[in-house]
């Protein structure tokens, strides 16, 4: 293994290519919910061409909300005025009068940019709901529209769950408390209000303004003890929906230096990888310089 390290230290493209091939063959590691941002289902009023056209327009508005995390995206002039034919890849209708539409992801990202909207990466915390809600189907429908993965649970604890939404009945409403990553938000309202509280809070954290453009980052990652670590790290990064490119630059001992292009910035990348846990925070910030690392790979 030491010989391998000496070869890579000077931008060993042959090894980088081999690692990329290995990484491409590896199965993704579970650990976070991935929302299908560019697939939506909307109701159809009828079977006429006009009904289908109206459904397609509604689907564009719905995908903008799901992909950006912003409720107001549906009313954005660039979104409401978009021609669905430019973005739809496939569609089908169901027996219960629903229209299922799949969109071109890159085209939708460009549309969001034109509209001045952010992009919410596909990797999203699962929100565990602890509330005596009678109409769960209605809540699940709103969560689906917002692109919020949810689970129903009782006695959910913020210390063991990444995101928890607790609703305490108060008259005809609920007193809602949402907790994630050590932060708490509260509001009062209907069951749907609780879903919006969770989605708005998470979107504010994981869909910042920086996602309107891309950044090229130099990352130093420690923990490269063998070939499995190299290939595992590349697979981990290439799985991320905000990553647009990964290039191996050098290897020095157990520290791998990479050039990574992301939709967003370094801070957002850190937040997203924290949802998975395989990349732990490194020493950058505490000790800048040659010895500093951004992450430590711990599969």
Distance CA 42, CA 53 (A): 12
| pTM for the structure as a whole | 0.85
The answer on pLDDT for 11 being more than 70 is no
Tell me the pairing of strands 214-222 and 255-263. antiparallel
Confidence label for 6 from pLDDT (cuts 50, 70 and 90): very low
Q: For residue range 82-126, what is the model confidence (pLDDT) as tens digits?
A: 999 999 999 999 999 999 999 999 999 999 999 999 999 999 999
The arithmetic mean of pLDDT across residues 185-211, rounded, is 97
Q: Where are the domains of the chain?
A: 2-32+210-297, 38-114, 123-206
Class of the CATH domain delimited by 123-206: alpha beta
Q: For residue range 238-250, what is the model confidence (pLDDT) as tens digits?
A: 999 999 999 999 9
**How high is the pLDDT of residue 299?**
87
Comparing C-alpha atoms, which of 246, 17, 9, 274 is closest to residue 295? 274
Distance CA 49, CA 99 (A): 13
* Helix (H) or strand (E) segment spanning residue 263: strand 255-263
**How high is the pLDDT of residue 33?**
83
268 touches 262 (CB < 8 A): yes
Interacting residues of 167 by C-beta distance below 8 A, sequence separation 6+: 129, 130, 131, 132, 133, 174, 175, 176, 177, 191, 194
Torsion, CA 60, CA 65, CA 67, CA 70, rounded to 10? 150
Out of 155-164, 195-204, 280-289, which region has the weakest mean confidence (pLDDT)? Answer: 155-164
**How high is the pLDDT of residue 154?**
72
Phi, psi of 250 (to 5 degrees): -165, 165
The answer on pLDDT for 221 being more than 80 is yes
């Amino acid at each position: 293994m030491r010989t391998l390290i000496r070869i890579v230290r000077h931008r060993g493209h042959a090894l980088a290519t081999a690692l990329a091939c290995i990484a491409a063959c590896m199965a993704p590691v579970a650990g976070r919910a991935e929302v299908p941002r560019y697939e939506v289902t909307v109701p159809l009023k009828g079977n006429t061409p006009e009904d289908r056209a109206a459904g397609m327009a509604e689907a564009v508005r719905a995908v903008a909300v799901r992909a950006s995390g912003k409720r107001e995206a549906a009313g954005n002039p660039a979104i409401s005025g978009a021609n669905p034919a430019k973005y739809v890849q496939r569609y089908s209708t169901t027996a219960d009068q629903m229209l299922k539409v799949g969109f071109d992801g890159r085209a939708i990202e460009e549309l969001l940019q034109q509209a001045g909207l952010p992009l919410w990466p596909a990797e999203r915390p699962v929100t565990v709901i602890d509330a005596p809600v009678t109409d769960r189907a209605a809540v699940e429908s709103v969560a689906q529209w917002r692109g919020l993965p949810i689970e129903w649970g009782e006695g959910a604890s913020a210390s063991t769950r990444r995101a928890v939404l607790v609703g305490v009945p108060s008259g005809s409403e609920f007193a809602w408390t949402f907790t994630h990553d050590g932060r708490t938000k509260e509001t009062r309202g209907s069951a749907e209000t609780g879903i919006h509280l969770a989605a708005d809070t998470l979107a504010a954290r994981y869909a910042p303004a920086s996602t309107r453009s891309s950044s090229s980052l130099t990352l130093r990652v420690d923990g490269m003890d063998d070939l499995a670590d190299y290939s595992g790290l590349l697979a981990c990064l290439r799985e991320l929906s905000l990553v647009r490119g990964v290039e191996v630059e050098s290897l020095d001992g157990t520290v791998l230096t990479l050039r990574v292009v992301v939709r967003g910035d370094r801070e957002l990348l850190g937040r997203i990888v924290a949802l998975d846990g395989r990349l732990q925070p490194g020493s950058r910030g505490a000790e800048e310089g040659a010895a500093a690392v951004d992450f430590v790979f711990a599969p």
